[in-house]
């Protein structure tokens, strides 16, 4: 099931990535779910993790030179404006209290596009407040998370010069049920 989910995520990602996006910053991507597939398409991929330990899953790619890694503040990205063609951030936004600051930083360092994932309110997620304890019992290590409306995020990105051009809807059920 885990491999199926990663494949679905990867397919969605590549349906959104433009070919001209050759330099990529993956913020919070120490898990490698986005960085590794992007690097396999001969893009220059940098992962920014919150701590050096986040590089562990990427160690072979770092050693091979297919991915570079840096640790730093995810809310104050240590890069100049428009340093990358594309910024990505998966599995982070919904857990970030300062999500508006994260969006601003993703936009600031991107020249062309930003790709994120997020749980939407207008789905089965609307039941999350009622079913969170069950989700935690099934998954064991579930953290609380925030849900968004697409409109809300579109407005925030618009403040920073980006507009929603494409979206891919993925998982209907909570991850634990898949």
Average pLDDT over residues 152-162: 97
Residue 136 has pLDDT above 70, yes or no: no
Q: Is the pLDDT of residue 126 over 80?
A: no
Q: β-pairing, 110-116 with 67-71?
A: unpaired
Identify the top-confidence range among 87-96, 126-135, 136-145: 87-96
- Lowest-pLDDT range, 92-101, 110-119, 134-143, 155-164? 134-143
Which residue would you say has higher pLDDT here, 117 or 86? Answer: 86
Enumerate the H helices of the chain as residue ranges. Answer: 2-16, 35-39, 59-64, 99-108, 128-139, 150-158
What are the distances in angstroms from CA 32 to CA 46, 108, 128?
11, 23, 27
pLDDT for res 94: 85
pLDDT of residue 72: 96
Q: Please give the structure tokens belonging to residue 48.
A: 């920014």
Q: Which residues contact 90 (CB under 8 A, 6 or more apart)?
A: 9, 26, 28, 29, 33, 34, 116, 117
Cβ atoms of residues 20 and 83 within 8 Å: no
Residues 41-76 pLDDT 10s: 999 999 999 999 999 999 999 999 999 999 999 999
Scanning the structure block, which residue is given the tokens 């091979």? 64
More confident residue, 158 or 31: 158
What is the chain's mean pLDDT, rounded? 86
> What mean pLDDT is predicted for residues 12-37?
93
pLDDT at residue 147, as a whole number: 79
For the chain, counts of helices (H) and of strands (E): 6, 5
């Amino acid at each position: 099931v885990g491999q199926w989910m990663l494949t679905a995520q990867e397919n969605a990602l590549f349906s959104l990535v433009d070919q001209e996006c050759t330099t990529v910053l993956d913020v919070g991507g120490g898990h490698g779910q986005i960085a590794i597939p992007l690097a396999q398409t001969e893009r220059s991929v940098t992962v920014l993790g919150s701590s050096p330990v986040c590089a562990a899953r990427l160690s072979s790619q770092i050693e091979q030179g297919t991915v570079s890694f840096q640790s730093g503040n995810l809310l104050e990205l240590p890069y100049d404006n428009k340093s990358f063609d594309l910024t990505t951030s998966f599995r982070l936004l919904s857990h970030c209290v300062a999500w508006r600051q994260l969006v601003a930083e993703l936009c600031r360092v991107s020249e062309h596009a930003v790709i994120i994932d997020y749980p939407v309110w207008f789905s089965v997620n609307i039941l999350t407040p009622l079913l969170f304890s069950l989700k935690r019992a099934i998954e064991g290590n579930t953290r609380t998370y925030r849900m968004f409306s697409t409109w809300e995020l579109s407005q925030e990105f618009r403040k920073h010069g980006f507009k929603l051009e494409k979206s891919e809807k993925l998982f209907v059920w909570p991850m634990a049920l898949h």
